[in-house]
Amino acid sequence: MVRAGKLILRYTFTFAVFCGTAGLLLPAVYELVEPRKAAYQQELKLQSLRLVSPGAEDFEPAQTAAGQAYYRAYADGQLLGYVLEVRARGYSSELQLLVGLDRSYAVTGLRTLAQAETPGLGTRITEPAFAAQFLGRPAEALALRQDGGSLDALTGATITSRAVADGIRRAVADWRATL
């Protein structure tokens, strides 16, 4: 019985030392990693902004009167267009999209930032072929063929396809109304 008690104390002490050490090291590791993580995330965001606004060299964050954030895209000091973050409800998740617009509000680029749609169906919104059909089209005219527009829905993912088109159209309309 005494031997079992000593064994329990030994394991308890070892566990406490391990947990205490981990607890002391965790903040130090966080302080080392956090600046690198923030710089990496900023670089990814800049890459995404450049993808949806081809030719842009500089991006200026801005806000509408209603508080909606967006970016102004510049090339050679001239306003090239805008970049909006769009959120829309898909079939099984919230879609987060980045949409580039030229000065006449036609789509210059589309990138999916986050989605959790049905694998093999709705997840195909991330494919370049799906995004390519939006390019050059006025944001106010984005609609699927079955809704009277000119965009093709993904087979088996009409709800997700519609969410992208409708989400962009509504977000741009709301954004323009508050400029």
* CA terminus-to-terminus distance, the chain: 78
| Lowest-confidence segment of 1-5, 62-66, 156-160 by average pLDDT | 1-5
Neighbours of 74 (CB within 10 A): 17
* Contact yes or no for 151/145 (Cβ under 8 A): yes
Q: Would you say the pTM of this structure is higher than 0.85?
A: no
pLDDT in tens, 140-153: 999 999 999 999 99
User: What are the tens digits of pLDDT across the range 26-64?
Assistant: 888 889 889 998 888 888 889 999 999 999 999 999 998
Is residue 107 within 8 Å of 99, Cβ to Cβ? yes
* DSSP state, residue 138: B
Task: Report residue 1's pLDDT band, with 50, 70 and 90 as the boundaries.
Answer: low
pLDDT at position 42, please?
A: 86
Q: Is 106 exposed, middle or buried (0-12, 13-18, 19+ CB in 10 A)?
A: middle
